[in-house]
Structure 1
Amino acid sequence: MGVRGLQGFVASTCPHVCTVVNLKDLAAQHRSRHPGCAPTVVVDAMCCLRYWYTPESWVCGGQWREYFAALRDFVKSFTAVGIRLVFFFDGTVEQGKRGEWVRRRLKNSKEISRIFHHIRSHRQQPGRNMFFIPSGLALFTRFALKALGQETFCSLREADYEVASYGLQHNCLGILGEDTDYLIYDTCPYFSISELCLESLDTVLLCREKLCESLGLRRADLPLLACLLGNDTVPEGVFESFRYKCLSSYTSVKENFDKKGNVILAVSDHIAKVLHLHQGEKKLEDILPLGPNKALFYKGVASYLLPGQKSPWFFQKPKDIITLNKQVITVSSDPEPKQDVPVCTDPESQQNVSMCTDPESRQEVPMCTDPESKQVVTMCTDSESKQEVPMCTDPESKQQVPMCTDPEWKQQVPMCTDPEWKQEVPVCTNPESKQEVPLYADPVSKQEVSMCTYPEIQEKLPVATDSEFKLEASVCTHPEIEQEDAMNMGPEIKQQGTMVSDTEILKVARTHHVQAESYLVYSIMSSGEIECSNTLEDELDQALPSQAFIYRPVRQRVYSLLLGGYADGVSTCPAVKEWFVYPGNPLKHPDLVRPLPMTVPGGTPSLKMLWLSQEPEVQVRRLDTLLACFNLSSSREELQALESPLAALCCLLIYLFVQVDTLCLEDLHAFIAQALCLQGKSTAQLVNLQPDYVNSRAVQLGSLLVRGLTTLVLVNSACGCPWRTGEFMPWNVFDGKLFHQKYLQCEKGYSVEALLEQNRSRLARFHSLKAVVCKACLRENRRIVARAHWGTHHTGRWGRQGSSSHRTDSGHSRSGQGQPWRDQGPGNRQYEHEQWRRY
């Protein structure tokens, strides 16, 4: 993460950049300087997951009760000294960083292979040097922090940008994280989470001013340095030859520095002694070998500019016009945060990237003027303005492009009708190709290519509220943050229309997303693209299919619910792009997955009913819809009769055992027994629990159940929260070590009484839960039998000689297709009799 090599360079070459500080003392100083203002630390939560996960066991599926206790201690340490915490989580993977995301996922897959090799060889968990965070940790951490009363947000773009923006605009005490990008952003101080001592609140301050002093640079030079060295936007190899030339001409190479350190010093020296000489006189592309990477490089530099900031490296012409790689960027010279932000125009393609402008400025920004076609498209940035905008006329075709005026924003954009989406989307016409290109339009702000993270929306919408967290989803979250991604100029970023045209529903989905109350819903509805990171799955175990495939039918029904995917049995919306990591997937392209129809008693309700209605009877409709997503409508009465949180767990177990043939009766016993025994155990008892050894199949089963819980979060939020979120949080229904212990006891033939630790009060509940699961599975022609009763068919598959163990929801086994799960290409798998293909 961050700038390549900078972390090691600072630690080895510039140790004076790192200063030990005490956050309690800094908070006291902050209060004296700003009376009445609570000192606030904004936390990059994704950087802190490894620090927070302190339980010794991590391979069995997660020690969730211990983890929740660790989070509670973390929060208490700060609140005890009057420090307010604000947490940010990554909510999306930006298109320009998809390649980096893929690279890391493939690297993680290799690490997971080594983990399972160690488990099979030694029958124990690997050392902390091979530590891999449990599946779903980031998602469940969001809900854990909200349960602890903390302000928790999910980003609409790269989280580090929103963290840096929040820290700057709210005059925060500092940023807590572990990402060298925070040394590059010109924002509040940056503290290291890895160096934090929770008892004393001592940590290390990484000072960007001292870094600049060591390198002979100014703070405004740091984004330039970061892109020349390589970061998540600009690949390291792009400027490798340039760095080599800098190193060869650098006269102060020190033998005791490593090569990386010398490269950083050499590039910094080139910036200070060469580039500074031409600054303001020559364009950056004239003094750097940018070549075909100009747009990408400028985008990388601009990605570090926070609201109200500008870069002196953008060569300025009169009227505040900056020319970048045949692109025009208009900026304001006003240094205050409320200012116009750049407009990027490519005169060759005539595609415009319109920017969000402060409504109080009441200034118009020209979007696109082509001297050959004479086309002009002007945008009114004041939401209250009544000014009309001329239509766009092509002098060659003499045809006018119709303009659609949005009644809320009063702005006009060319429109076309997409036959696939059955909706109108704004377009930009390229005079060379004569093709109309759809522009991305954010239905919330009504602006083209809108990347504004927290638009200023002052209204509240009635929504389904989780009574546990006392949450109300209001649309207005951070009106202070108004700047958009000003430099979205890379041609690799393809503009898209949203998947849903209902702006009211999208506002609600966006709000739930930002306030970290939902999972994947807004991504599905806005971009039609989702991702899921690595899971602890053994690629050599052919008997258990990947969680990506097991839960796919559920996701497909959610797509149908969110996108209105079926009419008269025919799909009416585009496929959703799934970036899911599973063994054998090279992640070169997303999987295109189309919605599946589902049957809800009484008909599928609308999202407005599910999300906005306050009528008591709608709660019944919400539950009906949730069960329909799992194809479990027939089990409604049995599940409703169960106590919380066991109803949610049983729903998941029924679905799992229907889907996967190679789950046996012993597996069911282990799942149920651990859930019942968990309710009677303290955190200390769980800490001291030690399974006899580690079984690779049990490891995968633990991860499989936890991924099921994350799927349940998706379904529950899509259906308007018929179940309280806390009912299926893992700290209430699952403990990795406890499940492992019960699994091993089942392998050894322990009786049910022994599994339940001779607690007779649990026995009746055990048989009741088991009966619900077995009865529901029988309805789908799935009979759960003990492993000892398996015939050669099951034994063969268990021995990884047969075919897939996956079942469709109709109960027909996928067996006999001739290839194991891991050997089938994604294009060969079918779901619900519908072929799906690679994108």
Structure 2
Amino acid sequence: MGVKGLQYFMDRCCPEACVTVNLREMARQHVAKNQQGCTTTDNTTSPTLVVDGMACLRHWYSCKDWVCGGQWREYMDVLKSWVEAFTSAGIRLVFFFDGVVEEQKRQEWVKRRRRVNGEVSKMFRHMKAHGEQPGKELFCLPSGLASFTPFALRSLGQEVFCSVREADYEIASYARQHGSMGILGQDSDFIIYDSALYLSVAKLRIDSLTTVMYHRQRLCQTIGLTVTQLPLLACLLGNDVVSEEQMQHIRNNAMAAYRINSPVPHSGAPQGQMVLAVSHLVSSLWDREEQETGLIPQSLNLSAPHRELLKRGVRSYLLPGQEALQQDDMSALPSASAFEKHFSPKILKACREKHVAAEGFMVYSVVFEGVTECSNTLEDEENTELLPQALVYKPCRQRIYGLLLLHGHDGSSVDLPAIREWFVYSGNPLKEPDMVHPVPLGFPGDQPSLDLLWFGTSPEVSALRLTSFLSIFDCQEYKELYGAIEDSLLAALCLVTYIVLQVQTLSQEDLDAYLSQAVCLRLKSPQELQQIKSSCLSLFLCLREKLTETCSKRSRVLQSRPNAPEHSHKTTPGGVQNWREREMFGGHRHGGGWRERGEARRYPREYENGERLWERRGGMRGGHFHPAPHPNCHDGGPQNMSRPPNRSRGPSYRNRGRYQLSPRWSQPPAPGT
């Protein structure tokens, strides 16, 4: 959320409400204030900052090569240093991330997704025109960063929460309930909530731990309102619940009255004048109705639907324990959905707890509401020859839905409602959700119950979990590898196999690039990644052989395309292909992708050196690699590496970046994010 024009007004027109503060000194003062007469230090007295994680992503992600997906190890280093700066000052951090999109804000979510789509298109056009990564003005966060950052912070020992309603509301509620030192974020809604101090992450200097505090009381003094009147001001200016357009006539009248009644108008820009004009209107409404106790003054000229909308918007700012909340705020609480009846109370409780603790994502929304969404990814909507990732992972998601909803049944005669998917991809106007039906995993007989899979402890249940995981990716053949290779490598192998089977335009070089990431990068430090050489060859070849065999059983033969054909770029007639129509009527169209558009392939020098290194080791004989066998990769018995694997035509450094795998991520992200 955010109040239209309020942040600008405070920064440009209300300097007295923008106070530079030192967080170390604030922490010392907080401890002194809360420890008077207290002999112990715990979370009730520790200086705590509640951090809006979503607002911090752009400030945390400072890696230079962001187009290909980014450097996960380098990003982890940034997070670690950032956290240590606060902990060294004795400041406890509590992070919150968005966990759901409330339906009352769905249209605003759609509007933002369309805007970001335009920004992504500009980025791709720049790269195709100039052959290089664009500058900061076209920066886009790597896909999936918001989904994986909570896991990264938890691995650093931080307390992380995922919201079950609007994250801003939960942040403000937590800060108020626990007497937190402040809220660190970048959202003007934190001025409207009557909660802890609002501290700017955009103006944070991590080296000195100084930033700007937006002073709620000083703002109220400047604009002539009380804190309890701020929610109405926010809704009249426009926010995620009440759009600018819906209250435009109120603001026009307020501005006209302001110009008449203020012979010397405020010297600020029109945005600043609008805040003052609406503030004067709100103040005058209460002056005329001192006895008014409702959320919306009766004298405000509104239609019945607009009055109800405004009430809902004002209620969204009322935190637990505040007046007027008891009146009719129950409408803001989520009601039971048709999906909850398919799950036991134990499952529902565990699902919510895991979601809130940031131990998973997507499952909570599916189980409780039957809905899920995926924000923008870095995909070129003008490239009609690669399926969008939303459609690539759709069969995988359908099996996940089947695992969740078809438990205890064979799936053949169960009439279940479809999952509503709001996924951003080329050709999807986002006017309504895609209705996606669950698909059974293919267990012999009935699927095991979800309660058994989640809470069972026997070895048989562990085997069922593994079978379920492999079945989701259609990689049952890899069961023999469990325990023989690291779990992270097995997960990567399943993911790459799934992608190769789904996307027919991927080549042998693409496969090599994906697998080499998983094998070579997982144990490298950020410093080592700056000067990486090709290594771990035997393990790489072992995994590639397994993957190739699995694909062959499904009649999927990978072709090598080491060089791009030399002909000019051709534009598909008719512009962007509608992927929904293609999926429904034409299936996958297999084309050469960007290779057929004449784009030259460039191999970096370190890859050339890596190939020479393999040859110098004596591993290349008779056109085949003969590496030493890897001790942890076997077929249920001694590994036989005497049979030479298929000849490699050279690893491909080019990365499509379309399916959440990138050259420098240490572990591939999960599907459907």
Q: Say yes or no: does 1:34 pair with 2:34.
A: yes
1: distance between equivalents of 2:386 and 2:582? 16
2:154 equivalent among 133, 143, 146: 146
Q: How much does 1:279 deviate?
A: 3.2
Kindly indicate whether the alpha-carbon contact (under 8 Å) linking 1:161 and 1:304 is maintained by their aligned counterparts in 2: yes
Q: Which residue of 2 aligns with 1:175?
A: 183
The 3-state SS of whatever aligns with 2:340 is coil
Q: Say yes or no: does 1:683 pair with 2:457.
A: no
Letter in 2 for 1:129: E
Cα gap change, 1:354 to 1:97, in 2 (>3 Å): closer
Q: Which residue of 1 aligns with 2:550?
A: 776
The CA deviation string for residues 159-215 of structure 1, in whole angstroms up to 9 with x for no partner, is 000000000010000000000000000001010011111111101100110100110
Runs of 4+ off more than 4 Å: 353-356, 798-803, 825-831
CA RMSD of aligned residues (A): 2.6
Q: Which residue of 1 aligns with 2:327?
A: 342
The 3-state SS of whatever aligns with 2:160 is strand
- Residues 286-685 of structure 1 mapped to structure 2, 5 A cutoff: 286-291=298-303, 292-310=305-323, 341-343=326-328, 441-442=335-336, 498=340, 500-564=342-406, 567=410, 569-600=412-443, 604-638=447-481, 641-679=484-522, 681-685=524-528
Letter in 1 for 2:388: S
Q: Which residue of 2 aligns with 1:280?
A: 291
The 3-state SS of whatever aligns with 1:621 is helix
Kindly indicate whether the alpha-carbon contact (under 8 Å) linking 1:543 and 1:799 is maintained by their aligned counterparts in 2: no
Q: Say yes or no: does 1:8 pair with 2:21.
A: no
2: distance between equivalents of 1:142 and 1:680? 21
The aligned length equals: 572
2: distance between equivalents of 1:286 and 1:769? 70
Q: Which residue of 1 aligns with 2:51?
A: 43
Letter in 2 for 1:342: Q
Q: Which residue of 2 aligns with 1:23?
A: 23
1: distance between equivalents of 2:469 and 2:284? 64
2: distance between equivalents of 1:667 and 1:543? 15
Letter in 1 for 2:349: K
The 3-state SS of whatever aligns with 2:373 is strand
Cα gap change, 1:43 to 1:568, in 2 (>3 Å): closer
Cα gap change, 1:537 to 1:525, in 2 (>3 Å): same
The 3-state SS of whatever aligns with 1:114 is helix
Letter in 2 for 1:197: R
Cα gap change, 1:679 to 1:142, in 2 (>3 Å): closer
More strand by share: 1
The 3-state SS of whatever aligns with 2:89 is coil
Q: How much does 1:820 deviate?
A: 5.3
The CA deviation string for residues 275-312 of structure 1, in whole angstroms up to 9 with x for no partner, is 3221325863531122131111001001101011125x
Runs of 5+ unmatched residues, structure 1:
312-330, 332-340, 345-352, 357-439, 443-494, 690-737, 739-755, 804-818, 832-839
Runs of 5+ unmatched residues, structure 2:
36-40, 589-673
The 3-state SS of whatever aligns with 1:3 is coil
2: distance between equivalents of 1:615 and 1:536? 42
Cα gap change, 1:81 to 1:118, in 2 (>3 Å): same
Cα gap change, 1:789 to 1:176, in 2 (>3 Å): closer
- Residues 160-199 of structure 1 mapped to structure 2, 5 A cutoff: 160-199=168-207
Cα gap change, 1:278 to 1:828, in 2 (>3 Å): farther
Letter in 2 for 1:269: H
2: distance between equivalents of 1:830 and 1:671? 25
Letter in 2 for 1:126: P
1: distance between equivalents of 2:129 and 2:472? 40
The CA deviation string for residues 485-523 of structure 1, in whole angstroms up to 9 with x for no partner, is xxxxxxxxxx76635342111111111111110111111
Q: How much does 1:624 deviate?
A: 0.6
The 3-state SS of whatever aligns with 1:21 is strand
Cα gap change, 1:274 to 1:296, in 2 (>3 Å): closer
Letter in 1 for 2:374: C
Structure with the larger RCO, 1 or 2 (CA within 8 Å, 6+ apart)? 2
After TM superposition, the score normalised by the length of structure 1 is 0.65
Q: Which residue of 1 aligns with 2:278?
A: 267
1: distance between equivalents of 2:112 and 2:410? 39
1:256 equivalent among 240, 246, 267: 267
Kindly indicate whether the alpha-carbon contact (under 8 Å) linking 1:88 and 1:159 is maintained by their aligned counterparts in 2: yes
The 3-state SS of whatever aligns with 1:531 is strand
Q: Which residue of 2 aligns with 1:216?
A: 224
Q: How much does 1:630 deviate?
A: 1.1
Q: How much does 1:642 deviate?
A: 2.7
Cα gap change, 1:136 to 1:176, in 2 (>3 Å): same
Cα gap change, 1:92 to 1:221, in 2 (>3 Å): same
2: distance between equivalents of 1:186 and 1:607? 42
Cα gap change, 1:664 to 1:307, in 2 (>3 Å): same
2: distance between equivalents of 1:828 and 1:32? 69
1:118 equivalent among 112, 126, 129: 126
Q: Which residue of 1 aligns with 2:581?
A: 824
Q: How much does 1:14 deviate?
A: 0.4
Q: Which residue of 2 aligns with 1:56?
A: 64
Q: How much does 1:640 deviate?
A: 5.0
48-57 or 522-531: which moved more? 48-57
1:135 equivalent among 143, 148, 159: 143
2: distance between equivalents of 1:187 and 1:282? 21
Letter in 2 for 1:201: L
The 3-state SS of whatever aligns with 2:327 is coil
More helix by share: 2
1:766 equivalent among 537, 540, 558: 540
1: distance between equivalents of 2:157 and 2:434? 38
Q: Which residue of 2 aligns with 1:698?
A: none
The 3-state SS of whatever aligns with 1:617 is helix
1: distance between equivalents of 2:242 and 2:178? 29
Cα gap change, 1:568 to 1:125, in 2 (>3 Å): closer
After TM superposition, the score normalised by the length of structure 2 is 0.80
Kindly indicate whether the alpha-carbon contact (under 8 Å) linking 2:99 and 2:162 is maintained by their aligned counterparts in 1: yes
Letter in 1 for 2:538: A
Letter in 2 for 1:125: Q
Q: How much does 1:680 deviate?
A: 5.7
Kindly indicate whether the alpha-carbon contact (under 8 Å) linking 1:560 and 1:597 is maintained by their aligned counterparts in 2: yes
Kindly indicate whether the alpha-carbon contact (under 8 Å) linking 1:43 and 1:176 is maintained by their aligned counterparts in 2: yes
285-294 or 82-91: which moved more? 285-294
